[in-house]
Structure 1
């Protein structure tokens, strides 16, 4: 009972601090203190978001959290934790709630998330933004990033991948594919099983969708997807969905498409509790994608 009381008090203190900070910010203007005090709470906010199984609660809650964090950022514009959280938040919202209903809106959100992610990477972000010096130079710069920057790199890649996927044949987007590929390769080199294999799923999607002249390769795409499947053990539905939508459709492998989507339908989204929201959303996406089967295969 004492442990429960202490937990409630701690939760109350954290919640009160966030509320107080949101009131302090307009008064203190660009003061750094509120942002620095709130920064340690931000990872818990994002973890709470992704573990939320009620999609409507998450859909309604995240925008206000993002605006609160943008307010905090005004007081501490170089705070990498806040920048990373904003990158993950906007990328996650675009992927989960905007992409299917409004690709144009999702594109704008992905672009905002990408900008926050690049800013969180400081000088490396500037190098990735311009691609100055070509592939060897960018690869060398990326080699300096290690475990401490892994989440920043990953959410930047999620946002960048999402933005490119909404652009179709836009030459500006196609011209950035090589940068995203190098970024994903560095993430995998730092931690090959990070985020249940999602970097491999992103790399597989990129390799499947990109023309051969820009580095696309169906065989490499399939290898990346299969590696992601191994790492997720079928528990992270984003992997099967990306493999079905971006891989099986591109390969015109109807049997694989059906197998992947049926595996999602049979599985319990709460089995991977910390990713319950993503699993629940992608389970619904998978059901909608299955309805489109006859349109996607010819």
Structure 2
């Protein structure tokens, strides 16, 4: 993949990489990860987070969840389920609520570290993934099987979040290709995992740039349409991301407005997606309000 050159304005570049981590696709991973913590309590915590449509309430309670994962991992540092949960929590909370760049870098550093440890705990041969040359990295990922999908997906989302927080560093941006390899492998092994959210990431990666700069918008559209099918339209952020990433990139105003109007017309209180959908509606309204200026 070819990434934007210095001639692209900083503001536009930030817009591209801001979209790397649609909160939603990370947040709705929590229903699987958190439930590994400690039985019934963790299941209830997961349910409450995902079904709370008040973003401020979750913001206030978020730091407590982060500290809880840290404390649990102190007693059980090699538990891959706990490590995946911690990585997802740190990544999601940072993307939704943390605006300070220095703090975002610190939190995503921690989240990515947890994600790498989760992969390493499952496969000792994968403990050096971060240092491997790209071809060796790709080979190692291709050797993993269906049982590794949760760890692969978590690493991909945490890595994308880390890149977003370190977007001023071109060495970090160059690692996007590794995220792409991870998500492609998730799809090969189980494309329905997390309601097809690996397709959402690949849709974003293919629509970061216009075709002239290496983007592949039509491939991106196929991924967005596929995740819409796999998720049954329950995750409203998919349509918001489709509109922002693809419709705006190719200047398709009709598609852009239709997708966002469908988000605003939909019932957001879907079990497992209430929090995600609350944020989607907020973003959909803002995109529609700025559409005349954009198009």
Superposed pair shares fold, TM > 0.5: yes
Partner of 2:76: 76
Measured against aligned partners, the alpha-carbon deviations of 1:211-250 in whole angstroms (never above 9, x if no partner) come to 7799642221111111112222322112111111222222
Measured against aligned partners, the alpha-carbon deviations of 1:14-50 in whole angstroms (never above 9, x if no partner) come to xxxxxxxxxxxxxxxxxxxxxx984785455334322
In structure 2, distance between residues paired with 1:290 and 1:177: 29
User: By how many angstroms is 1:75 displaced?
Assistant: 2.4
Q: Aligned residues, how many?
A: 257
- Give me the TM-score of the superposition, normalised by structure 1: 0.76
2:294 pairs with 1:296 = yes
Is residue 234–residue 273 contact of structure 2 (8 Å, CA) maintained in 1? no
User: By how many angstroms is 1:105 displaced?
Assistant: 4.4
Partner of 1:12: none
In structure 2, distance between residues paired with 1:207 and 1:223: 10
Partner of 1:203: 202
Partner of 1:19: none
Measured against aligned partners, the alpha-carbon deviations of 1:255-293 in whole angstroms (never above 9, x if no partner) come to 2211111111010111x3112111112211221222222
In structure 1, distance between residues paired with 2:291 and 2:40: 45
Partner of 1:59: 59
In structure 1, distance between residues paired with 2:110 and 2:212: 29
Query: Which ranges of structure 2 fall in alignment gaps of 5 or more residues?
Result: 1-35
Partner of 1:118: 116
Partner of 2:273: 275
2:189 pairs with 1:190 = yes
Q: Which moved more, 1:80-89 or 1:248-257?
A: 248-257
Aligned ranges for residues 39-50 of structure 1 at < 5 Å? 42=42, 44-50=44-50
Is residue 260–residue 288 contact of structure 2 (8 Å, CA) maintained in 1? yes
User: By how many angstroms is 1:56 displaced?
Assistant: 2.7
RMSD value, Cα: 2.8
In structure 1, distance between residues paired with 2:216 and 2:54: 38
Q: RCO (CA 8 Å, sep 6+): is it higher in 1 or 2?
A: 2
- Give me the TM-score of the superposition, normalised by structure 2: 0.76
User: By how many angstroms is 1:106 displaced?
Assistant: 4.2
**Secondary structure, counterpart of 2:78 in structure 1:** coil
Measured against aligned partners, the alpha-carbon deviations of 1:123-165 in whole angstroms (never above 9, x if no partner) come to 46534322x2433x32331133333332222222222223334
Query: Which ranges of structure 1 fall in alignment gaps of 5 or more residues?
Result: 1-35
In structure 2, distance between residues paired with 1:264 and 1:63: 29
